[in-house]
Amino acid sequence: MNQLFQWLRFTVWPSRWRWLPGSIAVLVVLGSIEFGILQPSEYMAYNTFIRLRGKQRWHDDIVVIEIDEKTLNGLGQFPLSRDKHAQVLDFLRKAESSIVVFNLVFSEPSPND
């Protein structure tokens, strides 16, 4: 009986207990991810890497057109009519732009729809 206990003690039980710390660590990490505990640390690490990377130069082929206060004062109240957007698209087509992206929501119908 003593030999059986010795065999269990030194061969079977240690191999099972060897997995316990790793299993607990995995459960803690998965629980932290699920409940959002690690999210502030993730944001902080991401912001640090972006700051260390430095400012990236814009590519010369990329142009951003914004609707600002000066535009609204000259063209009228927001949302601008779709005719104004069509004029901008015509201008960009003539300039042979390859991609045009609108970051707008056209939620209200216009009179020409």
Per-residue confidence (pLDDT) for residue 14, from 0 to 100: 62
**To the nearest whole number, what is the mean pLDDT of the chain?**
81
pLDDT at residue 17 is higher than 70: no
Distance CA 46, CA 25 (A): 23
Distance CA 23, CA 10 (A): 21
Whether 41 and 29 have beta carbons less than 8 Å apart is answered as no
Confidence of residue 15 (pLDDT cuts 50, 70, 90): low
pLDDT at residue 8 is higher than 80: no
Distance CA 57, CA 34 (A): 36
> Between these two residues, 13 and 20, which has the higher pLDDT value?
20
pLDDT at residue 70 is higher than 70: yes
CA distances from 96 to 76, 89, 90, 91, 100 (A): 28, 10, 10, 9, 10
SS3 string of 35-46?
CCCCHHHHHHHH
Whether 78 and 67 have beta carbons less than 8 Å apart is answered as yes
pLDDT at residue 37 is higher than 90: no
Place of tokens 């079977």: 12
pLDDT at residue 11 is higher than 80: no
pTM of the model: 0.45
Whether 87 and 70 have beta carbons less than 8 Å apart is answered as no
Sorted by where each begins, the domain ranges of the chain are 2-53, 58-107
The predicted-structure confidence for 91-107, as pLDDT tens digits, reads as follows: 988 988 888 888 887 77
pLDDT at residue 75 is higher than 80: no
Confidence of residue 10 (pLDDT cuts 50, 70, 90): low
